Amino acid sequence: MGIIDFKEILSKKLLNKEMPNHLALATMNFSGYDEKKAIEKHIALLNELIEFQIKTAIPIFTIHLRQTPEEYKKYLASYIKSLEHDETISKNQVRIFIIGKWYDLEQDAVEAIKSIMEATKDYDKHFLNLCVNYDGQEEILGSLKLMARKIQMEKMNFEELSKEVIKDNLYTSYFIPPDLMIETGYQFSGLLLWDSQGAVLHFTRKHWLEFDKKDLEQALERFVKSKS
């Protein structure tokens, strides 16, 4: 499994075409793969996609890390720490948000996550969301519970409930909905479930670890065609 250079993804057909303002992509767990090699390929793909975001000036990129808690233990803390000290992140002003119930993970991962969000909080050129221990239905449920508490505490009236208010109480309240969503494994992950309406959806049967330049280019071509 070699490294994919997504920096060179754009063909002549896609050069100078409008790119998404918010691109979202769901990965998959490592079931059925050699764990060590899978993690190496996973991290290589993530780093290539971050460089792709920077090269194409896509403002917002959301990546759903759909690994299991056991898989997170194997790589997440060290990977997050590597991003904090990556010159690509600081040089290109990439602000990193971690979305989901990451605070339920192992302490070393929690501390690494807190540290990188603090370290990048003043960056504003690119925004990278990593969804960790995330579930789209749980995100909506959490929003509803939060609003219910506000109503109970008389900080909000029932009549004020609206689609806009629900959005304001989601993990991703501060971001516009995605323009393009890429799902690997030909199965909808529930990523950004509330915000997915209206997005261009691209499914690939390939496992995330087999995702390559052709898959990304096909997704971008579908997005470009949807705008023509």
Q: Encode pLDDT of 55-68 as tens digits.
A: 999 999 999 999 99
pLDDT interval class at 158 (50, 70, 90): confident
95: β partners: 127
Task: Look at residue 2 in the predicted model and tell me its pLDDT.
Answer: 40
Residue 15 belongs to a domain:
no
* Domains: count for the chain: 2
Supply angle C-alpha 166, 135, 18, rounded to 5. Answer: 75
Is 25 in the same domain as 70? yes
Q: What is the mean pLDDT of the chain?
A: 91
Give the model confidence (pLDDT) of 102-157 as tens digits: 999 999 999 999 999 999 999 999 999 999 999 999 999 999 999 999 999 988 88
Is 26 in the same domain as 80? yes
Q: Does pTM surpass 0.85?
A: yes
Q: Note whether 171 and 195 are within 8 A (CB).
A: no
Q: How far apart are CA 79 and CA 198, in angstroms?
A: 33
Average pLDDT over residues 177-206: 94
Task: Look at residue 62 in the predicted model and tell me its pLDDT.
Answer: 98
Task: Look at residue 151 in the predicted model and tell me its pLDDT.
Answer: 92
Task: Look at residue 103 in the predicted model and tell me its pLDDT.
Answer: 95
- DSSP 8-state assignment for residue 19: P
Domain holding 69, by residue range, is: 20-134+177-227
Task: Look at residue 131 in the predicted model and tell me its pLDDT.
Answer: 97
Task: Look at residue 90 in the predicted model and tell me its pLDDT.
Answer: 96
List the CATH number of the domain containing 129. 3.40.1180.10
End-of-domain residue from the set 150, 170, 190: 170
Is 24 in the same domain as 86? yes
Burial class (CB in 10 A: 0-12, 13-18, 19+), 228: exposed
Q: How far apart are CA 156 and CA 150, in angstroms?
A: 5
